[in-house]
Amino acid sequence: MASAAHTVQRKRVLRAPTATRLRHWTLRGAAITYLVAMIVVPVAAIISKGFAGGLDTFREAMASAGAWEAIRLTLVTSALAAITNAIFGTMLAYVLVRYRFRGRGLLSAIVDLPFAIPTLVTGVMLVAIYGPNTPIGKAFGSVGIQLMFSQLAVLLALCVVTLPFVVRTVQPVLLELDTAEEEAAQVLGASAWKTFRAVVMPAIRPAIAAGALLAFARGLGEFGSIVFVSGNIEGRTKTAPYFIFQLTNQFKPDQAAAVATLLFAISFALVLVTSRLVRTERKEAKA
């Protein structure tokens, strides 16, 4: 009995190196192939298409009406949406983790809705609620604020679409955070706000930054909801993704690719910068 078990174990040990190596090799190969086929190749194709003719293609694209304004609008509204959601997303995550109340599960599920709703529907929905013909739209209109078909509409749509990111990055960190430190701070007489700032904030800051960055990157590309809410006025409410769409419609796929490259270059640079900042901060936090 014992010797039989021993042989089985021996056999396994003897076989392991080749099998494991093969398994690792297959696993790694499959994962990398998938990533390359799905992301690296298409992105490379876009870049090479956009810059096959050097910078001229890009210059031609940017010479058309409202080009720079479209890119600026997209950058600004995406950044503002990221910040808004950094603030409110953190609040939501904190409430969801630290408080126990009826309907908490439902609230948590609602947070994910923007991922599940087609963004086109988000656009239609926003116009149905905040459009100039609706009671809310009229109320804002009477004080001179136009919610829909304006730059504000773009911001609102992006806030909705990117809402889950910060909540979902901050929530797991908060869950793991030991409440003892918070309690200690409060016992020592710190106010709730002071406790949050001095104890909770440093721990969740990298998560907020990461979530906000994802929200920003997601905002750069938003198209579906924008079509219905912005009015797409050149130089005013036309966004970069809509501009890219127009370029493809004018049979200028290379120019569209050049502008698209600019957008994800910005996005990619920010990812790199933030991941570095977050890493240094983590080190400092540990030290």
- Residue among 129, 186, 234, 264 that touches another protein (CB under 8 A): 234
Tokens at residue 92, please?
Answer: 């939501």
The answer to whether 175 and 97 have CB atoms below 8 angstroms apart is yes
240 binding another protein? (CB under 8 A): no
- To another protein, the closest distance from the beta carbon of 278 in angstroms equals 6
Task: Return all residues near 104 (Cβ < 8 A) that are at least 6 apart.
Answer: 96
Q: Which is nearer to another protein, 108 or 141 (CB)?
A: 141
247 binding another protein? (CB under 8 A): no
Q: How far apart are CA 81 and CA 15, in angstroms?
A: 55
The answer to whether 142 and 133 have CB atoms below 8 angstroms apart is no
Task: Return all residues near 124 (Cβ < 8 A) that are at least 6 apart.
Answer: 228
Q: At what angle do helices 67-98 and 201-221 cross, to 10 degrees?
A: 140
228 binding another protein? (CB under 8 A): yes
- To another protein, the closest distance from the beta carbon of 125 in angstroms equals 12
Of 10-49, binders to another protein (CB under 8 A) are none
Return the range that interacts with another protein (CB under 8 A); candidates 9-17, 37-45, 130-138, 179-187.
130-138
The answer to whether 100 and 179 have CB atoms below 8 angstroms apart is no
- To another protein, the closest distance from the beta carbon of 1 in angstroms equals 59
131 binding another protein? (CB under 8 A): yes
Give the single-character DSSP code of 200.
I
Q: How far apart are CA 174 and CA 242, in angstroms?
A: 37
The answer to whether 46 and 260 have CB atoms below 8 angstroms apart is yes
202 binding another protein? (CB under 8 A): yes
Handedness of CA 262, 268, 272, 274 (dihedral sign): positive
- Residue among 213, 244, 258, 259 that touches another protein (CB under 8 A): 213
- To another protein, the closest distance from the beta carbon of 234 in angstroms equals 5
Tokens at residue 269, please?
Answer: 């640079």
251 binding another protein? (CB under 8 A): yes
Size of the site for another protein (CB under 8 A): 54
Interface with another protein (CB under 8 A): 65, 69, 72-73, 75-76, 79-80, 82-83, 86, 127, 131-133, 137, 146, 148-151, 198, 202, 205-206, 208-210, 212-213, 227-228, 231-238, 246, 248-252, 273-274, 277-278, 280-281, 284-285
